[in-house]
Amino acid sequence: MRLRFAALLGLLLAALSQALPQSETPLERVLKQMDAAAKEFHSLQAGFVWDQKTVKPIEDEDISKGTIYFQRDSKQIKMTADIATVNDKPAAKTVLFADGKVDMYTPKTDQVTSYKTGKHQSEVESFLVLGFGGRGHDLLNTYDVKYLGEEKVEGVKTSQLELVPKSDKTRNQFARILLWIDPQRGISVQQQLFQLDGNYRLAKYSNIVINQKLPDGVFKLKTTPKTTYLAPQG
């Protein structure tokens, strides 16, 4: 009788353990939040501070400030970064990604330099949406992802993720990437990309506005009739 009771109790406990929901890991929770945000994402506007830190061969630092815009539809992703200052000095420059190419326009020289992304377009787009409208679970296809805990960034409680590229090709560009995800909105408010030599770029975003109408003409370069165009090969 005892053996029978023990066997029945074991079956009952096994059934209950299968019926009860498994506890969700912090990483899984963040990835789901990013997935949910990606379903609704179609545009973003934010102020940025990009801190490019060089430690080798000579220590140096450039801090760029400006405004960034994203737009995604069923056909493509567009991005414009309007740089206003570098190291707090006026240094106007616009970087536009659209239609399979990257255009850099410098008003001071009135010159546009264009680079076609070609077969690398999907890779460029994957970096653009890193934390900005990209699905969280898609990161698992390209990176080993680790949850590092919670951290406040400019008063925002964020979840910090570490991304280590799986492919040698990507690792040759970045040894690892850190994302600080705002769980309420499912997007990153800060990113840090480390190169193999220790150099890195720390990007901070503020005044983030999601899924609102963007200013007219943000995805068109404000060139002049005298603008010169360059298209370097390779």
| pLDDT tens readout for residues 156-170 | 999 999 999 998 888
Residues 6+ apart with CB under 8 A from 74: none
Distance of CA 206 to the CA centre of its chain: 14
Averaged pLDDT in 10-residue chunks for the chain of 234 residues: 56 54 84 94 96 89 97 88 96 94 96 88 79 92 96 95 92 93 94 93 96 96 96 77
Residue 144, φ and ψ in degrees, nearest 5: -85, 115
Question: What burial letters (b/e) apply to 211-230, b meaning 16+ CB within 10 Å?
Answer: eeebeeebbebebeeeeeee
Q: What is the Cα–Cα distance from 131 to 133, expressed in whole angstroms?
A: 6
Helix and strand counts by DSSP (H, E) for the chain: 5, 12
Asked whether residue 170 is domain-assigned, the answer is no
Q: How far apart are CA 40 and CA 199, in angstroms?
A: 35
The pLDDT of residue 20: 46
Residue 101 to residue 221: CA distance in whole angstroms: 13
d(CA 94, CA 34): 28
Domain membership of residue 163 (yes or no) is: no
197 falls within a domain? no
Q: What pLDDT, in 10s, does the model give residues 30-83?
A: 999 999 999 999 999 999 999 999 987 888 999 999 999 999 987 789 999 999
Query: Which residues, other chains included, contact 184 with Cβ-Cβ below 8 Å and sequence gap of 6+?
Result: none
Cis peptide before 57, with omega less than 30 degrees from 0? yes
DSSP 132: T
Q: What is the pLDDT of residue 4?
A: 62
In a domain, 122, yes or no: yes
Name residue 29's beta-bridge partners. none
Beta bridge partners of 93: 83
Confidence (pLDDT) at 169: 84
Q: Say which CATH number the domain at 124 has.
A: 2.50.20.10
**Residue 115 covered by a domain:** yes
Q: Is residue 97 part of a domain?
A: yes
Number of domains in the chain: 1
Q: Report d(CA 232, CA 225) in Å as an integer.
A: 21
DSSP helix/strand/coil, 202: strand
The answer to whether residue 168 sits within a structural domain is no
Backbone angles phi, psi at 126, to 5 degrees: -65, -35
Establish if 13 belongs to a structural domain.
no
Pair 188, 48: CB distance under 8 Å: no
Which residue range(s) make up the domain with 81? 24-139+203-230
